[in-house]
Amino acid sequence: MALEAAAPSGVAGRAKTTRVVASHVSVPKRVAEIWRSRQLLINMVSTEIRVKYKNSVLGLVWSLLAPAMALLVYAIVFGVALKNGYPEFVILLFSGLLAWNLFQTSVLTATGAIVNNAGLVKKVSFPREILALASVGSASVFFFFQACVMVIFLVVLHWRPAFGELWLIPVALVPLLVFCSAMAIFLAAVNVYLRDTQHLIEVVVGSAWFWACPIVYSFAHIVEPKLSAHHILGIPLLWLYFLNPMVPIVLTFERVLYAKTGLVPLTTTHVPTQLLPTWGSMTYVEMDAIVLGVSLLLLYGAMVVFGRLAGNFAEEL
């Protein structure tokens, strides 16, 4: 938030006011400032997308080709080479990747948002959080294009999602966006002071965190039977697995788009196998509601940290 102070009257030809960025402004006031600057946020999202595909012949078509190619590679490796035997594995895989790609793109892009826009930060007064939120916004646009690719796959493979539970997608999408925003704002601020943060996040999110989500493997077939039988200090490992906020969100996407909650025969052994949990719709709603509550707390904490660190951004950059 900007404060205005009158300039000395004897200084001719200079601006009459000097703008100073205040670092100790309450979170509600900063949220209100971000809302008043929402048009700037929209413009930054639009600019980020245009710059990404500037001078590109195919332009936004790459937003469709890139996820399709990544999906094809995963499908060949795990569906053909390693032969996990899951029927129409490409649909199960893409269901999880749809949510994961939104999270990964948001976090990786937002971490360097302040540093990469150092010139703008040092010269113009505006809510700095917008730079991180613009990364989440542009990732949401790419999410829409990837969802279009998902629809194409569903049509081509004649796969029927759970149409009666499509409403679960926005139920999972809201906490996902809040969680992405919290991570984006926090990491963007910390990276100004600790530049290794960006490299660390690329390793954590790009590898370890990805494999901690039931995307390339089945939750009901692999995770649940193995973790339920083990405990740490009396706590079931399955409970610890759900400390990952992305797990309920990924499972919700898979429940709606893959939609095979009953026993299905593996294509390699023809043995009836449970791939998705048999939980009812309200179980997913409850899990996503918990993720939303935790994400809101994380977002508030991220705003507090950002506010404390923002005052010295110009000096650090």
Evaluate whether residue 3 is within a structural domain. Answer: no
**Distance (Å, whole) CA 51 – CA 39:** 18
The whole-number pLDDT of residue 48 equals 80
pLDDT digits 0-9 by tens, 219-263: 998 898 888 887 787 787 888 899 999 999 999 999 999 988 877
Residue 314 confidence class, pLDDT cut points 50, 70, 90 = confident
Evaluate whether residue 16 is within a structural domain. Answer: no
Evaluate whether residue 238 is within a structural domain. Answer: yes
Evaluate whether residue 11 is within a structural domain. Answer: no
Burial profile 104-135: b = 16 or more Cβ within 10 angstroms, e = fewer: bbbbbbbbbbbbebeeebeeeebbbbbbbbbb
Residues 294-315, mean pLDDT to the nearest whole number = 90
Count Cβ atoms within 10 A of the Cβ of residue 191 and give its class: 0-12 exposed, 13-18 middle, 19 or more buried.
buried
Helix (H) or strand (E) holding 101: helix 89-111
Print the domain residue range for 198.
27-316
Burial profile 78-94: b = 16 or more Cβ within 10 angstroms, e = fewer: bbeeeebbbbbbbbbbb
Question: What single-letter amino acid sits at 102?
Answer: L
Q: Total structural domains in the chain?
A: 1
- Asked if residue 157 lies in contact with residue 109, where contact means CB atoms within 8 angstroms, the answer is no
The whole-number pLDDT of residue 57 equals 58
| Residue 2 clears pLDDT 70, i.e. is over it | no
The whole-number pLDDT of residue 257 equals 94
Evaluate whether residue 10 is within a structural domain. Answer: no
**Distance (Å, whole) CA 174 – CA 213:** 19
Residues 214-222, mean pLDDT to the nearest whole number = 90
Please name which of 306, 297, 224, 273 lies closest in space to residue 30, comparing C-alpha atoms.
306
- Asked if residue 198 lies in contact with residue 132, where contact means CB atoms within 8 angstroms, the answer is no
Residues 104-113, mean pLDDT to the nearest whole number = 93
Evaluate whether residue 224 is within a structural domain. Answer: yes
Evaluate whether residue 149 is within a structural domain. Answer: yes
pLDDT digits 0-9 by tens, 50-71: 777 676 656 667 767 777 777 7
Evaluate whether residue 42 is within a structural domain. Answer: yes
- Is pLDDT larger for residue 230 or for residue 13? 230
- Asked if residue 103 lies in contact with residue 177, where contact means CB atoms within 8 angstroms, the answer is no
Mean of the per-residue pLDDT values of the chain: 84
